[in-house]
Amino acid sequence: QVHLVESGGGSVQAGGSLRVSCAASGTGTAACMAWFRQAPGKEREGVAKINLIRGGTYIIDSVKGRFTISEDNTENLVTLQMTNMKPEDTAMYYCAAVAVPDSCPYLLRRDDFAYWGQGIQVTVSS
C-alpha cells in the first residue's frame, strides 16, 4: 500500500509560478509517481511522471518547458514545479503512484496507476 498526500497548489495570476508536492508513505515502495489534472467538465489527463527506480521523467507537450517534475529523496517527495502558468492550467491536480514490483507505465494513463492522492486545487487567473 502507498499513501499519497498532496501539498502546495493555490491561486496565481497568469505568468506566475506554483508548486505542488506529493509525499508518499505506507508499506509499499513507490516505483513511479505521476501528476494528473482534471479541469471541470474534462477528462483527467496525465501531466508528468518520474521513474523512481530507473530514473527519467516525462512531461506532456502542452506543459513542456513550463513544468518540471523532480524527486527529493531526503523528504520522500515528488514535486511538480509550474512556471509561466496559463489559465488553462487551472484544474484539480492529483498525485498518482505505482508500487514495486510494478514498473513505471510507458503511457500516462489513469488506469495504470493504482494509488491516488485526494487532489489539490490549482487556479490560474488571467
Closest by CA to 96, choosing from 122, 69, 124, is: 69
Helix and strand totals (H; E) in the chain:
0, 11
When pLDDT is averaged across residues 22-38 and rounded to a whole number, the result is 94
DSSP secondary structure of 23-69: EEESSS-EEEEEEEEE-TTS--EEEEEEETTT--EEE-GGGBTTEEE
5 band by pLDDT with thresholds 50, 70 and 90? very high
Per-residue pLDDT of 36-86, as tens digits, reads 999 999 999 999 999 999 889 999 999 999 999 999 877 779 999 999 999
Task: Check residue 7 and give its pLDDT.
Answer: 96
When pLDDT is averaged across residues 101-114 and rounded to a whole number, the result is 91
